[in-house]
Structure 1
């Protein structure tokens, strides 16, 4: 009697963690507040020094660190057990289109100060580059810390726009948003390491999330729709404030 052929069980879908969405919601909320204050200055309602003030530069660093660390965590959750290329390419293409849209709009608004390698441009490159590091564990910790340290190095050869997206520039380029690979890809690698470290201990699981995290609604919702909020919040803020300028 011929044995019945059984089909393999379907691959487990990557779990979406409420805690990760909540943290991303916190990051997007802080970013909206940051841009609201920036817009107040843009329209002359306030006078904030976003370029040299330790408070505002540290605040921006905090927001970026939270966002980009979660890029690493999310990359591990979604692709750590096998790269799903269709999903990767679809998601990356969506972010890339929005990044190009931001470049086009900011060219109209700011001219030569347009955004050519901001946070979305960085996420596109880092999401693809990060796939090469999914196999590593402790090496991601070492490389991540090394890239953070390398952020202090500078060389005039990296000052031209063709190269300063890598990092190592001697001065901040004239652009409204700038997130170079070095040191910020180090934060993504640290996120990858942290996700794998927590996974090994069983902590990166919906079953281990506190009850208050599972009950949260607004921040996780914002975290799940962070790209939409990112794209819409500035036109809305500038439109409303522009009515009173």
Structure 2
């Protein structure tokens, strides 16, 4: 208690001398744990250990969005804390260059392994842009940063237009969603970094960081989270090969039994209808549309590739056209 009390009353000079905040590292470590769960479920679906359509379900996708938003918000919080005693250009540019290099590595690796779903603007690419935006708002009043954050987050829902489709691969303001394994365009995702920055700016303004800095790891779980948070980029780059290997080994034992007990058609239609209804469509209309998709996919020899999430660019275009056909046919019934 004495340590915590003295930390709360620490002067601004003391705050500036603290290089890392363990609580922020722990939060980043918790986000890493969420990322592990998210990617491992994807890998299990890819190898058919679980129904391949489960990772596409609205609830699971929302979980992935929460994990991504948390990472991006922590970028803003970390930037505010790192610059509270002044901007260290060398440290900032070194961090930025490291993330740029990591993003390029992800693009090259996925281009080689998954050429039809290359990651060209995933979360690391977004962090690069968001870090530059955070730099611009480093000394802005917290409420200004917060208003800009809300504008960036809300813009795709209020002002999306087909006019932006040609730049939608990075901007996120169009309707043409690219085929990629991870897509976090500037709008709305960079807004979460500014939201984190605004939150930290407000906390600094009102003297809250003393309690944050005073928090210390008290058990093995806390220490593990802090350690993971401090090495989050390295873990991000290294974790997927390990998870893929584990999922593959599990598939050798569990996938045949799992596939025998699940109807792919029923599972696909369940997820399809759920996503359709989520878009405020009538349930019976959604059931007709999704049933049509199953039928036309089989008729055009796309069904097995859809289950494996392995459509080529031309096949994806064909599938999109079939989807529009089913939508039109269902609407007139």
Q: Structures share a fold, TM > 0.5?
A: yes
Aligned to 2:171: 166
Aligned to 2:34: 30
Task: Determine which of 173, 180, 183 is the counterpart of 1:175.
Answer: 180
Deviation at 1:58, TM superposition (A): 1.0
Comparing both chains, which one has the higher relative contact order based on Cα–Cα distances under 8 Å and sequence gaps of 6 or more? 1
- Asked whether 1:71 is paired with 2:75, we answer yes
Task: State the SS of the aligned residue for 2:209.
Answer: coil
Q: Distance in 1 between matches of 2:190 and 2:70?
A: 13
Q: Distance in 2 between matches of 1:28 and 1:231?
A: 11
CA change 1:111–1:49 in 2 (3 A) is: same
Name which one, 1 or 2, has greater alpha-carbon Rg: 2
The more displaced of 21-30 and 170-179 is: 170-179
CA change 1:158–1:50 in 2 (3 A) is: farther
Q: Distance in 1 between matches of 2:213 and 2:133?
A: 30
CA change 1:201–1:48 in 2 (3 A) is: farther
Q: Distance in 2 between matches of 1:191 and 1:28?
A: 17
Count of residues paired in the alignment = 234
Structure 2 stretches lacking a partner, 5+ long = 1-12, 253-333
Q: For the aligned residues, what is the CA RMSD?
A: 2.2
Query: What do residues 30-83 of structure 1 show as CA deviations (whole Å, max 9, x unaligned)?
Result: 001110110001111111536642211210111011111111000111124322
- Asked whether 1:191 is paired with 2:196, we answer yes
Task: Determine which of 101, 104, 125 is the counterpart of 1:97.
Answer: 101
Deviation at 1:143, TM superposition (A): 1.0
- Asked whether 1:81 is paired with 2:110, we answer no
More helix by share: 2
Query: What do residues 5-34 of structure 1 show as CA deviations (whole Å, max 9, x unaligned)?
Result: xxxx9x944531111011101100000111
Q: Distance in 2 between matches of 1:158 and 1:187?
A: 21
